Amino acid sequence: MNHALMFSSKSDEWETPQDVFDRLHAEFDFQIDLAASAENHKCERWWGKGDDALTLTWAAHAKRGWLNPPYSRTLCARFIQVAASERELGFLTVMLLPARTDTKAFHTYIYDASTWHPRPGVEIRLLPGRLKFGGSTNAAPFPSMIVVFRP
């Protein structure tokens, strides 16, 4: 795998395409954007770099959240781990992720290779083509997926 290409960016933050968010928000009615900034948040209520979404209990603050986490390998894996844990506390998380099906996080928290199915309470939606993030003129260098962690 060409890690330089798959993990390349001036930043590990990729702004959610509005049309993708709008379709999912219509379905799930998100209460909070769990990893955003003042410039790119998608919900009225949002957590940014000043709020540590990796240590707070999401279920204590809302019941349904949107999450487009930073895509660096370590941060993305931590957000996936927390979303899986929060599912057990009754929190629904819908995540936009790079479709990196070869990662440890994917197989630990999202997909069970021994059963050939997503893990209990997890839904995977593969997106066609490659997304254009945050007004970019070029498509992302990776495919994307939506992962739903249902309580």
HEC per residue, 100-120? CCCCHHHHHHHEECCCCEECC
Average pLDDT for 78-103: 97
Average pLDDT for 63-71: 95
**Residue 7 pLDDT exceeds 80:** no
**Residue 13 pLDDT exceeds 80:** no
What is the token pair recorded at 77? 């894996």
Least confidently predicted of 39-43, 54-58, 130-134, 146-150: 130-134
**Residue 1 pLDDT exceeds 70:** no
Burial of 81 (0-12, 13-18, 19+ CB in 10 A): middle
Alpha-carbon span 138 to 126, nearest angstrom = 20
Per-residue pLDDT at 86? 98
Amino acid at site 149: F
**Residue 133 pLDDT exceeds 60:** yes
Place of tokens 């790119």: 40
Q: How many C-beta atoms surround the C-beta of residue 88 within 10 A?
A: 11
Question: Cβ(34)–Cβ(75) under 8 Å?
Answer: no
Question: Cβ(84)–Cβ(109) under 8 Å?
Answer: yes
Higher pLDDT, residue 40 or 134: 40
Q: How confident is the model at residue 11 (pLDDT cuts 50, 70, 90)?
A: low
Per-residue pLDDT at 8? 43
Higher pLDDT, residue 133 or 121: 121
Mean of the per-residue pLDDT values of the chain = 90
Of 141, 119, 123, 121, which Cα lies nearest the Cα of 131? 141
76: enclosing H helix or E strand: helix 73-88
Alpha-carbon span 7 to 65, nearest angstrom = 25
Residues shown for the chain? 151
Instruction: Tell me whether strands 92-98 and 144-149 are parallel, antiparallel or unpaired.
Output: antiparallel
129: left (phi over 0), alpha (psi -120 to 50) or beta: left
